[in-house]
Chain A
Amino acid sequence: MLIAKSGLRPDEIATRVEAAFDQIMMVIFKRTDRMFAYLMAGQWLFGILVALVFSPYTWAGRAYTPHIHVYTAVFLGGLISSLPIALTLLKPGWAVTRYTVAVAQMLWSALLIHLSGGRIETHFHVFGSLAFLAFYRDAKVLIPATIVVAGDHFARGILWPESVYGIINPEWWRFLEHAFWVVFENVFLLLAIRDSRNDARSVAKRQIELEIVNATVEAQVDERTSELAASREQYRSLLETTLAIPWEMEPASLRFTYVGPQAEAILGHSPALWLTADFFAKHVHPDDESSLLNFQRLHVGGRDEVEFRLMSADRRWLWLRSVMTVGENSNGRPVLRGIMLDVTEHRKLESELAQAQKLESVGRLAAGIAHEINTPVQFVSDSIHFVREGTQDLAKLIVKYRALHDDDSSRLSAETIADIRQTESDVDLPYLLEKMPKALDRALNGLGHVAVIVRSMKEFAHPDQKEKVGIDLNQSIASTLVIAKSEYKYVADVETDFGDMPAVTCHVGEINQAVLNIVINAAHAIADHISGTDQRGCIRICTRREGDDAVIAISDTGGGIPDAIRDKIFDPFFTTKDVGRGTGQGLAIARSVIVDKHGGSICFKTEAGAGTTFFVRLPIEAAVRPAVA
């Protein structure tokens, strides 16, 4: 099935099988060539040995010369062995090599028979040689070998018949009788060669099938490995590049067994430290230790979510929300797994939002209170006015009455006059006549201030209408300064320089809020700058018309804005103030109102130790309906 999946056609497979078979056969050819190279050399040495042992000399009486067998063994034997040895070394596996070997081997049979004096045993070399040649598993190799044997018998049968057959005139077919046994052996050798080649072909086929299967499996494994690697990389990337910290923990010991790389990035502790036995216990906030119970309470399959604080490497407490589940590891033991999210900023924002909402509520209440106060204030002011006027009238009457008792012609008794004078002394009438009007003036003045504040608060808190309307910007700024007085009156004096200004089209409430935020920031900057001294700062507000724009410049004599934070002061929630003293939204709101909602601009110039000036530029639009009073 895997072979079918390989996509190879049957003829392609057959070609590969044949190539593998040829390779197997080539290995056999070369191996057999090497064997025969050694055999040829050995036979040569053996032939020389036989000649030297059995027929070293030819004799005539006492005289002797080396026997022709010796020369034959050395030279003819060397000649017979030389070419096969050379071919096996230079052309191993070559067809000509093994055919030459076959001829040479049979020639050695003939030579050894000569050297051994025609011993019957030496004739076995012929049959043994044929069997050795069959090691090539090439049927064609037997052909030249058989030809050599048959040819030798045929030629000698013609030239020296007695040497072959022992008779003078053998029949023509007598050589076949000798060749028959060679052919007889050849038949069995051919059968063995055929079977051996078939076995080799089967091996080749199995080898190719195995290669195809291996290749197919390897391809599948590679494909699966790539998919697995891609999937793992995807999951690893997802896991390790998100802001959430993946983790794993032994529930019994609360020891982390894995944390993602985000852990070090967020908290600064190295992964090795995370994995220590008591890391969690050592770094969790004392007030959140109970959260550890959540970790240990879960059973397999359980889920939970908990928030707690951990100490970072730079000694900050960071809020972490952990979502966890209980699973099992490869050993079947329970294991906690989850993700942790840094929710420190989230918590901070929640706190500031709550503060902002509280302030908003206070602001709404203030508007209502202002509205409610306005009427009784008006009553009191009117009443004080009446009393002030009445007091003036009574003072005139009292003066007249005093003239009566001072006049000698008055009919009042001396006792009555004395009583009146005593009472005047007791009540310190002169003092009253002097101070009461002033007190009433001060009361009226205070009520006037209250009325201004209430009116300013009403104006400030008045909900904006959906459309922009033209307003008196100077008046609006003045009202806002009244609202903000409590922030600056202890630390700074306010100077205003309002220029001639046409009606500026805007959302007055939002502009008031923006100016208020800048003034409050100025007051806080002065307060921080003069802290510990008895100095007072100055907040100066100037308005000018520049072309189509109304420009408001708000300056303070605070400490200036440091270089490091100058590009952050308009960022939402950025603040250098303590919690409760500012939400970090003031300048962000001012910028949003001025730039985004009114198409204006806001910028500043600052000098360390000298102060800061904010420049607000608002576009003036001419054709607008006037603001409702």
Chain B
Amino acid sequence: MKAASIVLLWLLLVSGGMFSLQAYKSTAGEQVPAPSSWPAGSGLQRVAGLKTLVMMSHPKCPCTRASLAELETLLSQYRERLTVYVLFVQPKDVPYEWTRTDLWQTASHIGGVHVLVDDDSREADQFKGLTSGQVVLYDADGRLEFNGGITGARGHVGDNFGLKRILAVLRGEKTDRADSPVFGCPLHAEQDASAKP
């Protein structure tokens, strides 16, 4: 009986631990609607006739590794039809090397991706990006087609709503929604975030 009680207690504890972990990983980051049309203040260049996809990332967010993996999956099918920017938000007063992380290297090795430093989050702010891994998709005319994450949980690769929806958009299909939760680290510290629009 004593052994059974210990085992049962242990089962409850580990189950609770796994539940908590899963709950955390399924908790999306902060998100606001992106501009419905291409922001005029953005310095990013659009290519005529191509849709433009922008991923805003924190250079050190571990969850973004999964977002980049899903981006690469997406691009393996639709690279020719997109202009893709991966912005790595660089806070003020950080050295050059702070942004050149393994994520930067990973993004740089994805074919057809423009990897840029977003100094002080200027571009990310244009698109209302708050959470690392957020993706916005604009059509050739500059109309917003998708805003959200392309992973199913924090740091998790695999089938997910966001990827399915953006793929549907790229295929010209109808989707239930044009957004999805973003699972990643905040792009800004809290005090910085409160100062942002």
- Is the Cβ of A55 less than 8 Å from the Cβ of B155? yes
**Residues of the B chain whose Cβ atoms lie less than 8 Å from the Cβ of A165:** 159
Nearest Cβ distance between residue A88 and chain B, in whole angstroms? 13
Nearest Cβ distance between residue B125 and chain A, in whole angstroms? 13
Contact with A along B24-52 (1 / 0, CB 8 A): 11100000000000000000000000000
Residue B168 interfacial (CB < 8 Å):
no
**Residues of the A chain whose Cβ atoms lie less than 8 Å from the Cβ of B60:** 57, 59, 64
- Is the Cβ of B190 less than 8 Å from the Cβ of A60? yes
- Is the Cβ of A83 less than 8 Å from the Cβ of B7? yes
Bound-complex Cα distance A114 to B189 (A):
25
Bound-complex Cα distance A91 to B24 (A):
36
Bound-complex Cα distance A136 to B159 (A):
35
**Residues of the A chain whose Cβ atoms lie less than 8 Å from the Cβ of B11:** 103
**Residues of the B chain whose Cβ atoms lie less than 8 Å from the Cβ of A110:** 18
Contact with B along A56-73 (1 / 0, CB 8 A): 111111111001110010
Contact with A along B81-112 (1 / 0, CB 8 A): 00000000001001000000000000000000
- Is the Cβ of A119 less than 8 Å from the Cβ of B190? no
Residue B10 interfacial (CB < 8 Å):
yes
**Residues of the A chain whose Cβ atoms lie less than 8 Å from the Cβ of B158:** 118, 120, 163, 166
- Is the Cβ of A159 less than 8 Å from the Cβ of B22? yes
Closest to B185 in A: A59
A79 contacts which of B13, B91, B155 (Cβ < 8 Å)? B13
**Residues of the B chain whose Cβ atoms lie less than 8 Å from the Cβ of A60:** 185-186, 188-190, 193
Closest to B98 in A: A62
Contact with A along B113-138 (1 / 0, CB 8 A): 00000000000000000001000000
Count A-B contacts at CB 8 Å: 123
Residue B62 interfacial (CB < 8 Å):
yes
**Residues of the B chain whose Cβ atoms lie less than 8 Å from the Cβ of A83:** 6-7, 10
Bound-complex Cα distance A76 to B91 (A):
34
**Residues of the A chain whose Cβ atoms lie less than 8 Å from the Cβ of B163:** 166
Bound-complex Cα distance A82 to B21 (A):
19
Bound-complex Cα distance A72 to B25 (A):
12
**Residues of the A chain whose Cβ atoms lie less than 8 Å from the Cβ of B91:** 61-62
A-B contact list, 26 entries, CB within 8 Å: A54-B65, A56-B62, A58-B185, A60-B190, A61-B187, A61-B193, A69-B62, A72-B17, A76-B14, A80-B17, A83-B6, A83-B10, A100-B7, A100-B10, A110-B18, A111-B18, A114-B21, A114-B156, A117-B66, A118-B157, A152-B18, A156-B22, A162-B153, A162-B160, A163-B22, A168-B161
Contact with A along B157-197 (1 / 0, CB 8 A): 11111011000000000000000000001111110110000
Q: Majority SS of interface residues in chain A?
A: helix
- Is the Cβ of B153 less than 8 Å from the Cβ of A118? yes
- Is the Cβ of A163 less than 8 Å from the Cβ of B25? yes
Report A's interface with B, CB cutoff 8 A: 54-64, 67-69, 72, 75-76, 79-80, 82-83, 91, 96, 100, 103-104, 107, 110-111, 114, 117-120, 152, 156, 159-160, 162-163, 165-168
- Contact flag A96-B185 (CB < 8 Å), given A54-B65, A107-B18, A162-B153: no
Closest to A107 in B: B14
Closest to A82 in B: B10
Residue B152 interfacial (CB < 8 Å):
yes
**Residues of the A chain whose Cβ atoms lie less than 8 Å from the Cβ of B161:** 162, 166-168
Nearest Cβ distance between residue A119 and chain B, in whole angstroms? 7
- Is the Cβ of B187 less than 8 Å from the Cβ of A54? no
Residue B140 interfacial (CB < 8 Å):
no
- Is the Cβ of A55 less than 8 Å from the Cβ of B62? yes
Closest to B29 in A: A60
Bound-complex Cα distance A60 to B91 (A):
10
Nearest Cβ distance between residue A178 and chain B, in whole angstroms? 12
